[in-house]
Amino acid sequence: MLLRFLAVIRRFSTEAVPVRAAVAASSSGGGDTLGRRLLSLLYPKRSAVIAINKWKEEGHAPPRKYQLNRIVRELRRQKRYKHALEVGSSSLELCNLF
C-alpha cells in the first residue's frame, strides 16, 4: 500500500509545470482589469476617463458599481484624488455608457 502511494506521488512530482502557469495560478485574479489599468496611471495629468473609454472600446464587460467604488477607494488610499474624483463623479454615467 505504501509503495503504491509513493509511486503515485513520484509520478505526479515528475511532471514539469510551466513557470507562467504557476505564476498565473498563484496570482489573485485576472491579468487585465479596469481597476489595474486605472491604478497604473502614474501621472495625475492623465485622464481616467480616457482609460475607461479605451476599456469600453475593447469590448470588455461593463464595470459594476461596487467595482467602481472599490477602485475609487483604492485611488483615494493612494492619494490620487483627481483620478478618484473622475471615476467617482461619473460612476453612474460609466455604468450607463456600456
What does the pLDDT look like over 16-63, one tens digit per residue? 545 444 444 444 566 788 889 988 988 888 888 888 888 889 998 878
- pTM of the complete model: 0.61
Q: What is the residue range of 85's domain?
A: 2-97
Angle (deg, nearest 10), helices 48-57 and 81-89: 50
Give pLDDT, residue 12: 52
d(CA 79, CA 27): 25
DSSP for 37-50, written as a single string: HHHT--STTS-HHH
Q: What is the pLDDT of residue 41?
A: 87
Q: What domain count does the chain have?
A: 1
